[in-house]
Structure 1
């Protein structure tokens, strides 16, 4: 449901309002991303054993955040234009979710194949099926999390009268970065063993 009273406050650009809304958010998100770094640090020895997975980490994390940013931007635009109500029967809304998930499947399949080809060139022994399993399981999980957080951040910002353009992308990309790291490491360990 569109909240008409919130649209009046979203139309004006005010740097003080943006800084007031963003500074505490960026501090919290910095702490969250620090946790992702600590997770990566603790998995360093394991990633040294499977070097090709270490090569996949930046792409896995980056693409998850990018998928969330795409959906967040589309949702924010629809809120600003007044063309969405977050109605479960909204076909355009589901088309956007479907497009993001299809893009995720394509990207993470390409990541698994690319990692295999690079691994083949450097002498990695991980088979294509294993890399595809890790890439697709991790990637599609991260894509679902990106969709959920895109909806939550956009709708929550809008309901609070905060311009979703100011908040959604930092929230979604940082949270998805952390989940992407943890999920990728967890799936990799589950598939390959510790």
Structure 2
């Protein structure tokens, strides 16, 4: 499938060999990087057993961070394809998208703390609400910053290298956010809670 008006070597050309050639090595590298998140989680097993509600928060924390990055990456990729952005710092729409990601992150991670607090009471693993809110917001907003930075870097880098950002940004951003999200969450939890 070729986008009308696109040249044979442009981003508008769909070629499965090019996509596989680009994505396979990238996915291998990203899979190795994600092992770090698993090792971090395994090393935190004692803390997660002591505070069971944290184990419940982990999937949501990591998943939501990746989703925030995927949202921004998709919006940036679309704007590149439409030719409506060049990552100009004066671009108000660009800053509105970043602001929306941070507002969504603050809402989601506050909701996560509230849900975890009440679920902790229900399952008999309560933690003080202030502790859960601190862990959730510091971790979540840090993950949002990482998601924004890597969304911009992956989208712009792919575009500059002549690779369709739609093929690369979401795998890069979600994997990187998974790793850093896990490391940050475990680190913040260890600092906030007594072990």
TM-score range, shorter chain: over 0.9
- 1:84 paired with 2:90, answer no
The question of whether the paired residues in 2 share the 8 Å contact of 1:6 and 1:161 is answered with: no
The question of whether the paired residues in 2 share the 8 Å contact of 1:7 and 1:161 is answered with: no
Determine the C-alpha separation between the residues in 1 that align with 2:29 and 2:136: 29
- 1:162 paired with 2:183, answer no
Greater helix share, 1 or 2?
1
CA 1:7 to 1:186, structure 2 compared with 1: closer, same or farther past 3 Å? Answer: farther
2:47 aligned residue = 46
Segments of 4+ in structure 1 off by > 6 A? none
- 1:148 paired with 2:149, answer yes
Unaligned runs of 5+ in 1: none
Determine the C-alpha separation between the residues in 1 that align with 2:154 and 2:140: 20
Determine the C-alpha separation between the residues in 1 that align with 2:132 and 2:189: 9
CA deviation string 1:87-110 (max 9, x = no partner) = 001000000000000000000000
2:69 aligned residue = 68
Determine the C-alpha separation between the residues in 1 that align with 2:152 and 2:194: 34
1:9 aligned residue = 10
The question of whether the paired residues in 1 share the 8 Å contact of 2:7 and 2:13 is answered with: no
1:95 aligned residue = 96
Aligned alpha-carbon RMSD (Å) = 1.4
Determine the C-alpha separation between the residues in 2 that align with 1:113 and 1:6: 52
Determine the C-alpha separation between the residues in 1 that align with 2:7 and 2:43: 44
Unaligned runs of 5+ in 2: 1-5
CA deviation string 1:133-185 (max 9, x = no partner) = 10000000000000000000000000000000000000000000000000000
The TM-score, its normalising length taken from structure 1, stands at 0.95
Determine the C-alpha separation between the residues in 2 that align with 1:143 and 1:8: 34
Determine the C-alpha separation between the residues in 2 that align with 1:24 and 1:99: 33
TM-aligned CA deviation for residue 8 of structure 1: 5.5
1:34 aligned residue = 35
TM-aligned CA deviation for residue 35 of structure 1: 1.0
The question of whether the paired residues in 2 share the 8 Å contact of 1:6 and 1:159 is answered with: no
The question of whether the paired residues in 1 share the 8 Å contact of 2:62 and 2:181 is answered with: yes
Determine the C-alpha separation between the residues in 1 that align with 2:8 and 2:130: 49
